[in-house]
Structure 1
Amino acid sequence: MFTGIIQALGTMKPIGDDFWQITCQDSSWSAIMQDLAYGDSVAVDGVCLTVEDITKDGFIATASPETLRRTILGELVDRHRYVNLETSLRVGGKVGGHFVMGHVDGIGKLICAEQTATSWEMTFSASDTIDRYIVPKGSIAINGISLTVAEYNPEISQFKVAVIPVTYAETNLRDLIPGSLVNLEGDVLGKYVEKFIYFGKENNSASSGSTQNEISPTFLAEHGYL
């Protein structure tokens, strides 16, 4: 589990069929490497990978064909773009963003980025695999970065986030151009709510005449969850 607060930037290169070497930038090497150990989890552009070996300036991990198919990691190697890095959350550590699992729900695309007096406003499109988890003022992870949805247009599956200057400067959001693809992960709380709603509907349809309350948006609102 991660928090979506990026600690360092790195680069990726393949060193075998499924193995990838991730190298940290010199300026942020210590943030990732100071206590990194074999078997640790590291979020690489929001994708949870396991450390299988440690090198003098980074680590080696395996990205399975399924991971490469469902994320943008494979494309990053060809484009030599930086990846965002974050080590897993330690018990008692600060949760500066939100709970990020490192399990990418879908791929998005940058539509436009506009600089304002206080932030960068970035608009992304979302694939249908994550669209249902996007909620205005809710959390979303973009390339592993914890951000808040400022606006959401469900009719065209687009959402906007406001990125403060320090986040823009110290993550790979600064490298994106219109058309760039990104990894997206919805808030895990939304996934549990969806599961509960589905369970309630399935349970009620299977037991006709049941008096059990269906877990619906109305039910949650009545009990203070929305």
Structure 2
Amino acid sequence: MFTGLVQTLGSLTPVEGDRLQITWDDTTPDWVFADLSLGDSVAVDGICLTVTHHWATGFFADASPETLERTSLRGIQGTARVNLEPSLRVGSKLGGHFVTGHIDGIGYLDSVAQTHDSWEMVFRVEDPRVSRYIVPKGSIAINGVSLTVADCDAQGTTFWVAVIPLTYAHTNLHALQPGDRVNLEGDVLGKYVEKFLRLAPHGSSAALQSLDAMTTMTQDSPITAAFLAEHGYG
């Protein structure tokens, strides 16, 4: 489990087969990976990878076929800059949101523009397995960075985030160009809510009807406070 608060930047290089070599920058504070051990989990661009071997400045990890299929790892040529975050310690501060490191799919940067107090980034999503969990003011992890969806279209296929200068400068988001791929993970709470409604007893038809209605909403019929109250969410 992670928070989506990136601790440092590093480099990822495919070694052989599905094996990956990850090293962190020289500027990384010693405490970030001070107690890294065999079998630990590290979020690499938001992807939960298991340490199979480690040394003073990095580690090896293996990527499963599912991970390669769902993430940006498959398209890496040479060495890539990646965001790194060690797993969350029990009792630590949760400054972002609960991030599992299990990527839902790929998104693409459409545009980025600097404002007086942030960087506005627009992303495009083609996979409905990803877009269904993108909602206005919801949480999302982009390359492992915990962000809030400022707004999105009705289907979640296009969404906007505002990235503060500190986050923009200290993650690999600043290096993205339009068309670049990013790893996306939707809020895990939304996934559980959806499954509970889908598996509700037959007597709970109202819950299922509510879910069906929400998943077929169009821009002309947005979810409103009145809609939620009408369907038992008030």
Work out whether the TM-score is over 0.5: yes
Q: Is the 8 A contact 1:122 1:161 kept in 2?
A: yes
Q: Is the 8 A contact 1:46 1:142 kept in 2?
A: yes
Q: How far apart are residue 220 of structure 1 and its match?
A: 7.4
CA distance in 2, matches of 1:26, 1:74: 27
AA matched with 1:192: Y
Which position in structure 2 is the counterpart of 1:207?
Answer: none
SS at match of 2:101: coil
Which position in structure 1 is the counterpart of 2:25?
Answer: 25
AA matched with 1:82: R
Q: How far apart are residue 31 of structure 1 and its match?
A: 4.5
CA distance in 1, matches of 2:117, 2:59: 36
Q: Is the 8 A contact 1:3 1:97 kept in 2?
A: yes
Which position in structure 2 is the counterpart of 1:125?
Answer: 124
Change beyond 3 A, Cα 1:135–1:48: same
Which position in structure 2 is the counterpart of 1:95?
Answer: 94
Change beyond 3 A, Cα 1:80–1:192: same
CA distance in 1, matches of 2:156, 2:187: 20
Q: Is the 8 A contact 2:14 2:78 kept in 1?
A: no
AA matched with 2:81: Y
Unaligned runs of 5+ residues in structure 1 are 205-209
Q: Is the 8 A contact 2:135 2:156 kept in 1?
A: no
CA distance in 1, matches of 2:18, 2:100: 22
CA distance in 2, matches of 1:37, 1:225: 44
- Structure 1 segments, 4+ long, off by >3 Å, are 212-226
TM-score (norm 1): 0.89
CA distance in 2, matches of 1:17, 1:157: 33
Which position in structure 2 is the counterpart of 1:10?
Answer: 10
Unaligned runs of 5+ residues in structure 2 are 212-226
Using the TM superposition, name which of 78-87 and 157-166 deviates more. Answer: 78-87
Using the TM superposition, name which of 31-40 and 81-90 deviates more. Answer: 31-40
CA distance in 2, matches of 1:157, 1:113: 17
CA distance in 1, matches of 2:228, 2:196: 10
Q: How many residue pairs align between the two structures? A: 217
CA distance in 2, matches of 1:148, 1:172: 17
Which position in structure 2 is the counterpart of 1:147?
Answer: 147
Residue-by-residue CA offset, 1:1-27 (whole Å, 9 max, x unaligned): 100000011111122222111000110
Change beyond 3 A, Cα 1:135–1:155: closer
SS at match of 2:16: coil
Q: Is the 8 A contact 2:141 2:186 kept in 1?
A: yes
Residue-by-residue CA offset, 1:20-58 (whole Å, 9 max, x unaligned): 110001101524321111111000111100011112211
SS at match of 1:135: coil
Q: Percent identity?
A: 57
TM-score (norm 2): 0.86
1:107 matched to 2:99: no
